[in-house]
Amino acid sequence: MQQRALIIGAGRIARGLIADMLTRSNCDIVFAVRSQTQRRLEDAGKYDIRFYGKRDDTLTIDRYATVSLADATALERELVTADFVFTAVGAGALAEIANTLAPPLQQALERREKALNIFLFENSADGADLFRTMATATRTGIVPCVVDRLVTTVTEPGSLDLTACSRDTTAYEARSVIGSVPELHGFLPCDDIAMRRQSKMMLTNMPQATAAALGYLKGYEFVNNCCRDPDISAIVRGAMTEVRDGMAAAGTFISPDIPDPAAYAEEFFGYFSAETCSDQVTRVLTDPIRKLQVGERFLAPALLCLQHALPVDNLARGIAAAMLFNHGNDTGAMRVQQLVAEHGVSNALAEIAGLDRQAPILRCVETQVEQVKTLRTGRRGGNSE
């Protein structure tokens, strides 16, 4: 019997990773989305995923149904019949989605013959705990996953098409699965999902965010052009070396699906740099207050290195640049700039991240601020390349 999956959300990861994985596994797909997105999906009837990297082809996704998140009865029906459920709504929307799913999920569990696994694709450290508070633990497996694919939208107005890197493996927390393990294309069990998430964050999210922060100061719109800028590339690669040294000193290597951390990081740097990867700088830097927390992509690598008395010059440059991100449409960025104006960079960072005012990382960042500011005098309009 053909398997059926319910995907909560229809953003880049939902359409460009989960739907791809399910299509290659010959599963029926149902997107649970807001009404406006439901109309777009139904009107289009299909969309393309254009791959780059180790493969250069296009996959058409045209076998899917939709259901409205506002229709609790329809959601319950889908939750009764689904073999598994996936969420890909972004960490900031998880609480809202959990509340939306709670009533129909409880009703569905009473009608189901077997347990239901919900796989979370938000790369959120606390997303699983949030969902577990509203699910019946003995009947529902809440399974955190680590997203390992870069997916971007295409530039054609109104298009649902996507561009995605060729990496097609996703790690999931094996011990959280209830019942049989799903046999899906590229879906790999992981014993320590927290370490896998941290490794991914340090080796891929950090370089991407660092390139974006530095590139924003130079006026770049897309991350791929940031990565091809010699000044920025030198700092990013320096930061990549620093974090690998820190991870090696801490013994945090890594996961069976990443036998070579350096090659893994270089693979993703290649994806970020690719001409076909039009990932916007402002998207990568959005929600800077969250991304400047101690467990996140900017600070976590630097703090790890400092714990082992290792240099963090390049990592600190990335943090300093992130503290100067002043995009007017990002309320978080404006809040950061308000704190910087009132207290200076290091004190503002201490307040944002909850650091002691004497924390060594603050001095490291402060010493890099003036150098990073000089990037603002560099070539602007670099997005036309």
How many domains does the chain divide into? 2
Digit-coded pLDDT (tens) for 273-285: 999 998 999 999 9
DSSP result, 251-314: T---BTTBS-HHHHHHHHHHHHH-TT---BHHHHHSSHHHHTSTTSTTHHHHHHHHHTT---HH
Give yes or no: residues 286 and 358 share one domain: yes
pLDDT at residue number 255: 67
User: Which of 191, 226, 244 is where one domain is finished?
Assistant: 191
User: Which of 149, 170, 191 is where one domain is finished?
Assistant: 191
Query: Out of 90-104, 130-144, 171-185, 211-225, which region has the weakest mean confidence (pLDDT)?
Result: 130-144
Mean pLDDT of 198-212: 96
* Sign of the CA dihedral with 383 first, then 55, 233, and 368 last: positive
- If you ran DSSP here, which 8-state letter would residue 354 be given? T
Residue 221 pLDDT greater than 90, yes or no: yes
Residue 201 sits in a domain whose CATH number is: 1.10.1040.10
Give yes or no: residues 210 and 340 share one domain: yes
Share of the chain above pLDDT 70, in %: 96
Give yes or no: residues 37 and 179 share one domain: yes
Give yes or no: residues 261 and 328 share one domain: yes
Give yes or no: residues 198 and 187 share one domain: no
Domain span at residue 8 reads 4-191
Residue 21 sits in a domain whose CATH number is: 3.40.50.720
pLDDT at residue number 290: 94
User: Which of 148, 174, 191 is where one domain is finished?
Assistant: 191
> 381 pLDDT band (50/70/90 cuts)?
very low
Give yes or no: residues 229 and 132 share one domain: no
pLDDT at residue number 12: 95
Digit-coded pLDDT (tens) for 294-334: 999 999 999 999 999 999 999 999 999 999 999 999 999 99
> 384 pLDDT band (50/70/90 cuts)?
very low
Tokens 């939750």 label which residue? 79
Mean pLDDT of 67-95: 95
Helix 230-250 crosses helix 313-323 at what angle (to 10 degrees)?
120
Say if CB 155 and CB 279 are below 8 A apart.
no
Q: Which two tokens stand for residue 383?
A: 């997005």
Give yes or no: residues 201 and 183 share one domain: no
pLDDT at residue number 362: 98
Tokens 């500011």 label which residue? 373
> 385 pLDDT band (50/70/90 cuts)?
very low
Give yes or no: residues 170 and 84 share one domain: yes
Give yes or no: residues 123 and 211 share one domain: no
**Of 93, 75, 70, which is closest to residue 30 (Cα–Cα)?**
75
Which pTM was predicted?
0.90
Give yes or no: residues 241 and 165 share one domain: no
Give yes or no: residues 223 and 369 share one domain: yes
Residue 68 pLDDT greater than 60, yes or no: yes
Digit-coded pLDDT (tens) for 244-258: 999 999 986 656 677
Digit-coded pLDDT (tens) for 155-164: 788 899 999 9
Give yes or no: residues 201 and 339 share one domain: yes
Digit-coded pLDDT (tens) for 18-53: 999 999 999 999 999 999 999 999 999 999 999 999
